[in-house]
Amino acid sequence: MPTLPSYVKLLRDDAREGFDPGVLVSEMERGLGKTRITEHRVKANVPVTLLFRTKAESVAFETWYFEVIGRAGFFDWRNPRTGQVHSVRFKGGVLGELVPLKAGFAASKRTATLEYLR
């Protein structure tokens, strides 16, 4: 299984995680609604900001994205919060725009959302 390239750094200033609980709520005429589990494995979402310290890193990442994982493929990623390795993919195969941090894209960043099943 491919892994997220080691030269890609994750910025932690906007670190957060969330998941869909996989629960259905049936409204009741009075009192609390009834709930039931609809999915045993839930989809977790982790928004990330990918940092590229050089222009070459951003180009290499695009090559990895298109040729290694084929835009929609899974790859191994170590969750910095738990230390666990998850098989993740980019949600919808979507990467945010490449944003320069230095002139001429000498350093840059882009956003994405990783998704995996818990």
Listed in sequence order, the residues at least 6 apart from 22 whose beta carbon sits closer than 8 Å to its beta carbon are 37, 38, 39, 40, 41, 42
Q: What share of the chain is helix, strand, coil (3-state, %, to 5)?
A: 15, 45, 40
DSSP, collapsed to helix, strand or coil, labels residue 63 as: helix
Q: Around Cβ 47, how many Cβ atoms within 10 Å?
A: 15
pLDDT tens digit string along 41-60? 888 899 999 999 999 999 99
pLDDT tens digit string along 3-45? 999 999 988 766 677 767 777 788 877 878 788 787 788 888 9
Q: Residue 49, CB half-sphere, CA atoms under 13 Å: how many?
A: 13
**CATH number of 9-117: 3.10.20, 2.40.30, 2.40.10, 2.60.120?**
2.40.30
Is the pLDDT at 102 greater than 90? The verdict is yes
Q: How far is CA 27 from the centre of its chain?
A: 33
Whole-number Å distance between alpha carbons of 51 and 85? 20
In the prediction, which pLDDT does 38 show?
77
